[in-house]
Structure 1
Amino acid sequence: MRMASIAALGLAIATQAQEIYLTTTGYTTRPQCTKSTASPSYHFQPFSYSLKETVRYATSIPSPTTTKTYAPVYEDAAKHLRTTVSTSSWGNWLPGQTVISATDSSNPYGQAAWSSMWLNAGLQNYTTTGIFSTTVSPTPVPTSELVLPPRDYFGPTDCYNFPDDFIFGVAGSAAQIEGAVALEGRSPSLLEKFASASCPKDYVTDENYFYYKQDIERLAAMGVEYYSFSIPWTRILPFVLPGTPVNKQAIDHYNDLIDTVLDAGMQPVVTMLHFDSPLVFVASDNIDRVPIWVTFNEPLLYAFNFQGVDNVIHAHAQVYRFYHEELKATGKMSLKLNDNFGVPKNPKNNSDIDAANRFNEMQLAFFADPIFLGKQYPDSILHTLPGARQLNKTELKFIGQTADFFAIDPYTATVVSPADEGITACAANKSSSNSLFPYCVNQETKNVYGWNIGYRSESYVYITPTYFREYLSYLWNTFRHPILVSEFGFPLWKESEKELSDQRYDSTRSTYYLSYMSEILRAIHEDGVHVMGALAWSFIDNWEFGQPSQFGIQGVDPKSQERFYKKSFFDLVDFVKARQR
């Protein structure tokens, strides 16, 4: 054979080894893992049409008879706070309301003071009311909504099971689903102030603040085991600082939310800060029944300068030690990091490899080296970022080993190569206007042969399952902690412009989820990587910071707030359930 033919054959074999991932659904048993060698036997037989559709019934986990606790109850935990707090309730900031309507102007934490925060935020003319004004009582999900979609022809062919303790669930965040931003005592956050004036705001979104019981009912009907959500700082402490009054309505609300999750047979995963920093410028709440806590969500996106990251790392360590050492709590705690995994444009080119290592180091090791390994900040940080300094021995001891697992939001990958003038020259000129500073690498979405790195979405996400598996190996072998895939998801191209039936039939999103879950199984069983769980983003289409991207495995009609399941939800659940022992 000619060399070109041999190369083509090798490429074909490699492609077969990696598999082509397409989706399937409706498995009640495992797919066959062996090929039939029998010769065909041709014959005639009576023909009749058969009904291919089946009905999927609710498979929620039975409500528990007892509730496991991981920490002291709120009243006991509050005794550990270094300041005394009182409980208060405030009203609502409605369109047209002004601070003049409150008469308690002498009270620094009264209704007038709370209203003035909204007035000073310059948001007094927005529409804040939705369909609901009180908590909606849940109703059972009709069986008609639980009918399986038609099966796709191809699907994963793995023969692996998930470990018994594997965490499977879905995720959302308060700012993106709750709405009710100025109701029941919540004060302004940065998102209301700085979201682009031309973009839709988060004032109503999915009205989950009042509709959470029905949302949880819908998740339970699909057999979801874990529900990840966030608690807004500005609901718990409207005046933000320690020693200011706690909002009793908020405490009661999130207590009931956690109880509703537990009563449905699910487990809560709680994030304490998910982009919604208080506008005034840490939280206090319901710690006893929550097994998994996250302190910060993706701090890289809002704290990428040396002082910002340094503050996040110290704050995280303080909360972690308070939780485990003062409260003697037994749940697990970490922070969520994000990084579109940097892969070298040419894996045989040392310069590209160095660029990928630098890219991942600056986005991950900046946080992870001190927290997970007790190591100094990376040289790439110390030699590049203005104001960078080394952590001293006391700081390293305090910060080190202050995470119980490695939470990562690994949506996709990015192709990396050095800056055109070289990394060293780019990094040395700290006052440079070079758009590549401080990473000093090129980031793109095409590989060395000019192909897109994967199938494109509406946003930055490309379907990159094999790189995802490599990413998991990188994280496990570098930072040496169990990995929680705390978010991953895929927004279809212009999904919002499609008819409802086409939005529901989101096979490309299924391809994303099933290929990534397949690679998790391969990472666990073939690479020895401890992946402790995966949480799909998002359990419903939500407010993506004013962007049109829809990540949800459920859709929502914003006018009626009616929800509908998408095909990918069924596919993802069936994939996991068929691979549980």
Structure 2
Amino acid sequence: MIKNMSNFSVFVLIMTMSLGLRILLVCGENINGNVSGYDFPSGFVFGAASSAYQMEGAVDKDGRTPSIWDTFAHSGYMNGATGDIACDVYHKYKEDVQLMVETGLDAFRFSISWSRLIPNGRGPVNPMGLRFYNNFIDELVSHGIQPHVTLHHVDLPQVLEDEYGGWISRKIVKDFVEYADVCFSEFGDRVKHWTTINEANVFTLGGYDLGFQPPARCSRPFGLTECSTGNSSTEPYIAGHHMLLAHASAARLYEKNYKDKQHGLIGINIFSYYFVPLTDSIEDEIATQRANDFYIGWFWNPLIFGDYPDIMKKNAGSRIPAFTVEESDSIRGSFDFLGLNYYNVMYVEDKSSTLQSENRDVVADIAIKLHSVQNDPSIFEYPITPWGLAGVLEYIKQHYNNPLIYIHENGQRTRRNSTLEDRSRVEYLQAHVGTLLDTIRNGSNVKGYFTWSLLDYFEMLDGYESGYGLYYVDLDDPNLKRQPKLSAHWYSDFLKRKEKASL
């Protein structure tokens, strides 16, 4: 594995080594500071996002068993950082719900820890885990905050990984659907927004191709960590295939057994950059479409059209599984909304001339070189590129029949111990919500926006070195004291102007 550097630096190194990033400075945009939540359509929700392992802590309390994220963190991939305590939301959830109320959130997006709810991956439900999530959801609802729940946010129960390889086995479909069934049954009377899998595309690439995310499966020469097992040429496609089958099966179960009674919505989430041709050459334009097909189309083409993009099937060949007619019919249309995570822009250069004929992995199949708006490790914060968000949404509108979208993640990265005067985050949020309003007025079917994140959580790419939160969490304080940043005050003012206007 790669040691002695933050995982964000590892990520930069990964992209530099595998995809050949270099930095291109892009001027950010800004918006009129007078824009508020009141300007958005009626019913539009604003919230903040999180995940179980990143916020809960209490990893060995009250019957919870390890997930693949526990194993990954304790194996040294995070330079000693773990989510063992994280923000201790497991014990401090009432305090944190009060922060949401004070901020003025309409909704809060979080995930359920499968191994806290069902410690063996299947079978008996853990009553203490069930009690925690019931209490947490009740606390949100009692304060008028919509719970938006993700079923799988990287943290598959380790017992299922050990037993049959987790997502690389078709057995996962049955176990995932049974887990989803428990969640729908126990929480669906209050939860009206379900996301099956978070960042399905990043999970396949990071977990099964490059190996820099749990469960750290990869193979040489493609893996960028010292993976002990895996096959980068085949497993990403197999895992992604099973995720689509599991999602569709869970969605069809919800549609059949719960939707008429609970009146909820279900979807799946992906991550996307806004891809732009590096030059005006035909080759770079084709490569940009290829990037969109592999990042977005990998999951959304089957969901909307019933099959993978043609270029994926051509380049991956027999390494990508095929859907049966029945599977295609089940997957097509198996969603009420699609979740999108967006942070910044990537410029695409064609590299198809270097595509190898054998032992290709997903990165080689895409055959592009990415030029990032952020590559220099000394530039810690994301450039402010809201026009990229507008570009992604326009692409989705034009290519995928303008589906209902929730922006599930969007936020600014800063150093965790930086000042509470996080003006760059204010500028980032202000610019993106303003541009989002423009895209909605231009016809994009977006119904919600969730900033990443409410608190400074344990982060996937660099543990506790960075913070995305509206609230700083003091890790040196035994009580993990929360302190509002300037961005918390800005977001609160933005949202409360909406409340005042409706009075």
Corresponding residue for 2:88? 207
Instruction: Please state which structure has a larger fraction of its residues in helix.
Output: 2
Check 1:225–1:483 CA distance in 2 against 1; reply closer, same or farther (3 A cut).
Answer: same
Corresponding residue for 1:444? 371
Shift of 1:200: 0.9
Q: Does 1:510 align with 2:411?
A: no
Residues in 2 aligned to 1:375 and 1:428: alpha-carbon distance in whole angstroms: 29
Residues in 2 aligned to 1:538 and 1:224: alpha-carbon distance in whole angstroms: 12
TM-score, normalised to structure 2's length? Answer: 0.77
**Which residue identity lines up with residue 492 of structure 2 in the other structure?**
V
Corresponding residue for 2:334? 402
Residues in 1 aligned to 2:66 and 2:54: alpha-carbon distance in whole angstroms: 14
Residues in 1 aligned to 2:375 and 2:57: alpha-carbon distance in whole angstroms: 36
Structure 1 unaligned regions, length at least 5 = 1-17, 23-30, 32-154, 447-451
Equivalent of 1:369 in 301, 305, 310? 301
Cα RMSD (Å): 2.4
- Asked whether the equivalents of residues 178 and 205 of structure 1 are also in contact (C-alpha less than 8 Å), the reply is yes
**Which residue identity lines up with residue 431 of structure 1 in the other structure?**
N
**Alignment partner of 2:467: what SS?**
coil
Shift of 1:569: 1.6
Q: Does 1:21 align with 2:13?
A: no
Equivalent of 2:474 in 527, 535, 557? 557
**Which residue identity lines up with residue 437 of structure 1 in the other structure?**
A
Shift of 1:539: 0.2
**Which residue identity lines up with residue 366 of structure 2 in the other structure?**
Y
**Which residue identity lines up with residue 236 of structure 1 in the other structure?**
L
Q: Does 1:319 align with 2:250?
A: yes
Shift of 1:353: 1.4
Residues in 2 aligned to 1:259 and 1:237: alpha-carbon distance in whole angstroms: 20
Shift of 1:496: 2.8
Residues in 2 aligned to 1:522 and 1:232: alpha-carbon distance in whole angstroms: 36
Q: Percent identity over the alignment? A: 27
Shift of 1:572: 2.3
**Alignment partner of 1:359: what SS?**
helix
Corresponding residue for 1:279? 158
Corresponding residue for 1:297? 198
Corresponding residue for 1:463? 384
Which digits, 9 at most, give the CA deviation of each residue in 1:390-409, with x for residues without a partner? Answer: 32322111111011112100
**Which residue identity lines up with residue 324 of structure 1 in the other structure?**
E
Shift of 1:186: 0.3
Residues in 1 aligned to 2:242 and 2:385: alpha-carbon distance in whole angstroms: 33
Shift of 1:381: 1.4
Check 1:245–1:158 CA distance in 2 against 1; reply closer, same or farther (3 A cut).
Answer: closer
Residues in 2 aligned to 1:456 and 1:521: alpha-carbon distance in whole angstroms: 32
Check 1:294–1:245 CA distance in 2 against 1; reply closer, same or farther (3 A cut).
Answer: same
**Which residue identity lines up with residue 187 of structure 1 in the other structure?**
T
Q: Does 1:412 align with 2:344?
A: yes
Check 1:457–1:555 CA distance in 2 against 1; reply closer, same or farther (3 A cut).
Answer: farther
Shift of 1:467: 1.6
Residues in 1 aligned to 2:37 and 2:309: alpha-carbon distance in whole angstroms: 40
**Alignment partner of 2:319: what SS?**
coil
Check 1:496–1:326 CA distance in 2 against 1; reply closer, same or farther (3 A cut).
Answer: closer
Which digits, 9 at most, give the CA deviation of each residue in 1:282-315, with x for residues without a partner? Answer: 3222121111001001122222421111100000
Check 1:395–1:299 CA distance in 2 against 1; reply closer, same or farther (3 A cut).
Answer: same
**Alignment partner of 1:302: what SS?**
helix
Residues in 2 aligned to 1:159 and 1:206: alpha-carbon distance in whole angstroms: 28
Corresponding residue for 1:430? 358
**Alignment partner of 1:164: what SS?**
coil
Corresponding residue for 2:277? 344
Q: Does 1:265 align with 2:144?
A: yes
**Which residue identity lines up with residue 184 of structure 1 in the other structure?**
D
Corresponding residue for 1:105? none
Check 1:414–1:20 CA distance in 2 against 1; reply closer, same or farther (3 A cut).
Answer: closer
Shift of 1:413: 1.3
Shift of 1:333: 0.6
Residues in 1 aligned to 2:340 and 2:37: alpha-carbon distance in whole angstroms: 26
**Alignment partner of 1:430: what SS?**
coil
Which digits, 9 at most, give the CA deviation of each residue in 1:174-218, with x for residues without a partner? Answer: 100110001000001111111251231110111100100110011
- Asked whether the equivalents of residues 415 and 443 of structure 1 are also in contact (C-alpha less than 8 Å), the reply is yes
Check 1:221–1:367 CA distance in 2 against 1; reply closer, same or farther (3 A cut).
Answer: same
Structure 2 unaligned regions, length at least 5 = 1-26, 161-175, 206-235
Shift of 1:547: 5.1
Check 1:577–1:457 CA distance in 2 against 1; reply closer, same or farther (3 A cut).
Answer: farther
Residues in 2 aligned to 1:532 and 1:364: alpha-carbon distance in whole angstroms: 19
Check 1:190–1:20 CA distance in 2 against 1; reply closer, same or farther (3 A cut).
Answer: closer
- Asked whether the equivalents of residues 339 and 409 of structure 1 are also in contact (C-alpha less than 8 Å), the reply is yes
**Alignment partner of 1:384: what SS?**
helix
**Alignment partner of 2:416: what SS?**
helix
- Asked whether the equivalents of residues 216 and 261 of structure 1 are also in contact (C-alpha less than 8 Å), the reply is yes
- Number of aligned residues: 411
Check 1:377–1:542 CA distance in 2 against 1; reply closer, same or farther (3 A cut).
Answer: same
Q: Does 1:488 align with 2:410?
A: yes
**Alignment partner of 1:484: what SS?**
strand
- Asked whether the equivalents of residues 228 and 270 of structure 1 are also in contact (C-alpha less than 8 Å), the reply is yes
Residues in 1 aligned to 2:417 and 2:483: alpha-carbon distance in whole angstroms: 16
**Alignment partner of 2:340: what SS?**
strand
TM-score, normalised to structure 1's length? Answer: 0.67
Corresponding residue for 2:48? 170
Residues in 1 aligned to 2:325 and 2:110: alpha-carbon distance in whole angstroms: 35
Shift of 1:436: 4.6
Shift of 1:573: 3.0
Structure number with greater Rg is 1
Residues in 2 aligned to 1:326 and 1:529: alpha-carbon distance in whole angstroms: 31
Which digits, 9 at most, give the CA deviation of each residue in 1:97-142, with x for residues without a partner? Answer: xxxxxxxxxxxxxxxxxxxxxxxxxxxxxxxxxxxxxxxxxxxxxx
